[in-house]
């Protein structure tokens, strides 16, 4: 199921402003790829182009080629809705749907698309997704309660369960732990390790230790100067990145000598 992603010569714009320029990389299937870099360097923007969430913002557009499993994401006949259905996303802040129960939140991807499900089927999907997100034992007795009643870390895992309930091929995570405490963060990192066997995972993080802990490959984004577009400085296996990076800027950033 999991797919690899080939990115070549991608430029990303907000209106006339070029936010990210000239990114090329290959994201391997069934692996975790982390993006690190200072704030505003375009990591999140780039992540959002991988499932066409970028264009939800008015005036945003993308040049270049992103190919998932042989299919170009930005071809003229590609339906962005179908892309998002197969490339799921988890956001920085936990955002369960406030009107829905835990159960309905997990099923939201199916329910909102009006997929007809028998009770036994939906029960199975909910249990599988919640188990997949390591949340089942904590919430199995209160599936009917509102999702907003959970703690922040549980809400985030609920959002991951919601994302994997539609069985995507790729899972994008935009700083999924930045609003969480260390224990919840550890729970989600464990989860990422487990999910790796089924999904291609791309994660943006500000936490370099986290990138080192969870990822197989790491991309370092940076800005030349304020107001300049962000660019990919280095993309290498995580081990090499944290021990012997090719680029001196990467080493400066990782060792904390950077701005």
Partner 1 sequence: MSAVDLDADTGLRNGSFSHVSLPRYASLLVVVIALALSALLVLLLGWNWVACPVVAAVLTVIALPLWSAAVENRRKAVDRLVTSLVWCALLVALVPLVWVLAQTVVKGAPELTGSFLTHDMTQKLDPTTFKMLPGAGVAHALVGTLLVTLGATIISVPIGLMTAVYLVEYGRGKLIARWTTLLVDVMTGIPSIVAGLFALALFTVISGVGTRFGLMGSIALSLLMIPTVVRSAEEMMRLVPNDLREASYALGVPKWRTIVKMVIPTAFGGIITGVMLAVSRVIGETAPLLVAIGSLDVMNTNLFSGRMQTLPVYILNEYKKSTPHDYDLAWAGALLLILIVMILNLIARIVGKIFAPKTGR
Q: Which residues bind partner 1 (CB under 8 A)?
A: 51, 53, 56, 58, 81-86, 88-89, 91, 93, 95, 97-99, 108-109, 111-114, 142, 145-146, 148-149, 159, 162-163, 166
Shortest distance in whole angstroms from residue 98 CB to partner 1: 3
Q: Tell the smallest beta-carbon distance from residue 179 to partner 1 (Å).
A: 12
Residue 28 or 111 with smaller CB distance to partner 1: 111
CB of 113 to partner 1, least distance (A): 6
229 in Cβ contact with 241 (< 8 Å): no
Nearer to partner 1 among residue 178 and residue 236 (C-beta): 178
Name every residue whose Cβ is closer than 8 Å to that of residue 86 and which is 6 or more positions away in sequence: 168, 169, 170
> What order do you get walking across the sheet with 217-223 strand by strand?
71-72, 60-68, 5-14, 17-27, 230-237, 217-223, 32-36, 200-204, 170-174, 87-90
Least Cβ distance, residue 84 to partner 1 (angstroms):
4
The CA distance from 61 to 49, in Å, is 9
Nearer to partner 1, 154 or 185 (CB): 154
Cα–Cα distance, 132 to 246 (Å, whole number): 37
Give residues with Cβ within 8 angstroms of 160, minimum separation 6.
90, 132, 133, 171, 176, 188, 191
Q: Are 34 and 211 in contact (CB under 8 A)?
A: yes
Shortest Cβ distance from residue 250 to partner 1 (Å)?
30
77/244 with CB nearer partner 1? 77
Residue 241 CB, nearest distance to partner 1 (Å)?
Answer: 28
Q: What 3-state DSSP class applies to 220?
A: strand
For partner 1, the closer CB: 86 or 231: 86
Comparing C-alpha atoms, which of 226, 216, 151, 221 is closest to residue 181?
A: 151
Q: Which is nearer to partner 1, 24 or 151 (CB)?
A: 151
Instruction: Let me know: does 190 contact 214? Beta carbons within 8 Å.
Output: no
Q: Which residue lies nearer to partner 1 by CB, 73 or 83?
A: 83
| Distance of closest approach, residue 95 Cβ to partner 1, in angstroms | 4
């Amino acid at each position: 199921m999991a797919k690899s992603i080939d990115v070549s010569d991608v430029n990303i714009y907000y209106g006339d402003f070029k936010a990210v320029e000239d990114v090329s990389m290959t994201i391997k299937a069934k692996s975790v790829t982390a993006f690190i870099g200072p704030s505003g360097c375009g990591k999140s923007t780039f992540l959002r182009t991988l499932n066409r969430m970028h264009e939800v913002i008015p005036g945003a557009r993308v040049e270049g080629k992103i190919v998932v499993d042989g299919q170009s994401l930005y071809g003229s006949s590609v339906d962005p809705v179908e892309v998002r259905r197969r490339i799921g996303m988890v956001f920085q802040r936990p955002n369960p749907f406030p009107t829905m129960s835990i159960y309905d939140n997990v099923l939201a991807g199916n329910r909102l698309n009006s997929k007809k499900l028998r009770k036994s089927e939906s029960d199975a999907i909910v249990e599988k997704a919640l188990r997949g997100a390591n949340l089942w034992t904590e919430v199995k007795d209160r599936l009917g309660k509102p999702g907003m009643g959970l703690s922040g870390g549980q809400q985030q895992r609920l959002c991951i369960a919601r994302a994997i309930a539609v069985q995507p091929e790729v899972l994008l995570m935009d700083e999924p732990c930045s609003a969480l405490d260390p224990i919840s963060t550890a729970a989600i990192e464990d989860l990422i390790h487990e999910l790796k066997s089924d999904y291609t995972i791309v994660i943006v993080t500000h936490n370099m230790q986290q990138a080192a802990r969870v990822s197989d490959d790491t991309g370092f984004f940076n800005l030349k100067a304020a107001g300049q577009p962000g660019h990919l400085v280095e993309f290498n296996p995580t081990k090499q990145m944290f021990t012997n990076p090719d680029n001196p800027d990467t080493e400066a950033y990782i060792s904390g000598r950077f701005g």
